Amino acid sequence: MPAAGPTSSHTNDLTLTLANIPVAIKANLATASDPATHSHLPTCCASRVLQHYRSPFDATPVAKLKAAGALIVGKTNMDEFGMGSFNINSPLHGPCLQPPPPPRDPSNQAKVRVAGGSSGGSAVAVQTGMVYAALGSDTGGSVRLPASYTGVVGFKPGYGSVSRYGLVPYAHSLDTVGVLTRSVGDARLVYEVIKGHDPLDMTSTATPPSTPTPKHSPLVIGVPDEYNLTCLSTASRQAWSRALSHLESLGHTLTRVSLPSTLPALAAYYVLAPAEASSNLAKFDGIRYGTHRAHFGDEVKRRLMVGAFALSARGVDTYYEQAQRVRGLVVNEFNHVFDPQRERGGVHVLVTPAALGPAPTLDEVARQQPAEAYVNDVFTVPASLAGLPAVVVPGASQQEEARGEYVGVQVIGMRGAEEQVLEVGGMLETMER
């Protein structure tokens, strides 16, 4: 039976907004032990390095959820330290898989679809109705890709709008605490609780009062040419087309835009994120934190080696600084298409595919080379590099969903436009599928 939602009597008082509502937390967000009951929720990051770690404090978003009355019912599986697109890199718990669609054959696990990474456990907890909402973290798409793969809503606020205090870092200039729910309205409700400046996180910012566009004002919807890849699956292409047609039917204007650095952004991300990780994870040396680094899983080791080389004397000019330049181009291109002063006028939001296609099966993933998984982040990475808010909503047809072939549609907004992103995401929930 799906988890209960909040009652309407609570919605005007943030201290009671989530009273008695079950919420799950990704295993890289700190949760304090309860000395009264001697119970603990491990902050292990799905890694053997931290399997015995017990946090003495709650991450700020977790503390805010508790203050709003939420029941923290458990921690969720993830790719180790957030490094993965499929949630199969989990040395402690094994891969996170979706429940198979009917008729179910639990014995044939190889044909079951993966949940997506790295917040796959949070996505499946929401998908199956175990919880009303779950927190995840999104570095390059780790909330949005699982949302697309599991048919739920995944919201990544803009960088800094939610405190990262208590989030075990992967890449500190990219990491964002995100929300997974069954609806956009639920995501908004949780976001209203966890957002805001935190003096314990120097990267957090005060969020000004929302000033959404009036409901009846037509919006200009940007459609990026570079997201129309030849490798886009039929399911994702049709979902994107349905979403655009639906928005046009509501009176909004579609306009093509260009974001030339979309593909280079993916390569830049896989230099910058591992480089930051190689620094952030250096603390896990068995002396200060965790156990010896030899206990890292294969994917973490792979990315740490890439990151260490990118920061080496030979790699810093050739790779790291070039990647930073690409990141600057990505930011400038987004600023340009959102700029109301540009010659053709700015767009309010961008609407794009969320993933190349439905989630692959465990069998299909096993046949891939490790680096092949990286391309799955191509639609989510650019917004992360620019620190923009983005939400993924379900876009598959009812027939596709009955087969477990979920795909999502992504809405990207300018900095500070979380409310507008959620507003357009809510519009897409009403499209015929």
Which of 142, 236, 261, 384 is catalytic? The answer is: 142
Select the highest-mean-pLDDT range: 95-109, 293-307, 324-338. Answer: 324-338
Is 118 designated active site? yes
* 403-425 pLDDT, tens digit each: 999 999 999 999 999 999 999 99
Q: What is the band of 10 on the pLDDT scale with cuts at 50, 70, 90?
A: very low
Given a cut of 90, whether residue 109 has pLDDT beyond it is no
SS3 label, residue 282? helix
Question: Across residues 266-274, what is the average pLDDT?
Answer: 98
**Has domain 8-428 been given CATH number 3.90.1300.10?**
yes
* 14-43 pLDDT, tens digit each: 567 899 999 999 999 999 987 766 678 999
Q: Which of 266, 259, 230 is nearest to 347 (CA)?
A: 259
Angle at 413 between CA 411 and CA 414, to 5 degrees: 165
Which of 118, 122, 137, 261 is catalytic? The answer is: 118
Q: What is the band of 294 on the pLDDT scale with cuts at 50, 70, 90?
A: confident
Given a cut of 60, whether residue 211 has pLDDT beyond it is no
Question: Across residues 197-219, what is the average pLDDT?
Answer: 78
**Domains in the chain: boundaries:** 8-428
Is 142 designated active site? yes
Tokens of 269: 């991300």
Rounded CA-CA distance 342/320 in Å is 31
Given a cut of 90, whether residue 101 has pLDDT beyond it is no
* pLDDT value at residue 71: 96
pTM, two decimal places:
0.94
Which of 26, 64, 75, 156 is catalytic? The answer is: 26
* Amino acid type, 255: T
Is 215 designated active site? no
Rounded CA-CA distance 251/337 in Å is 20
163 φ, ψ (degrees, to nearest 5): -60, 140
Helix or strand run (H / E) with residue 226: none
* 138-193 pLDDT, tens digit each: 999 999 999 999 999 999 999 999 999 999 999 999 999 999 999 999 999 999 99
Given a cut of 50, whether residue 8 has pLDDT beyond it is no
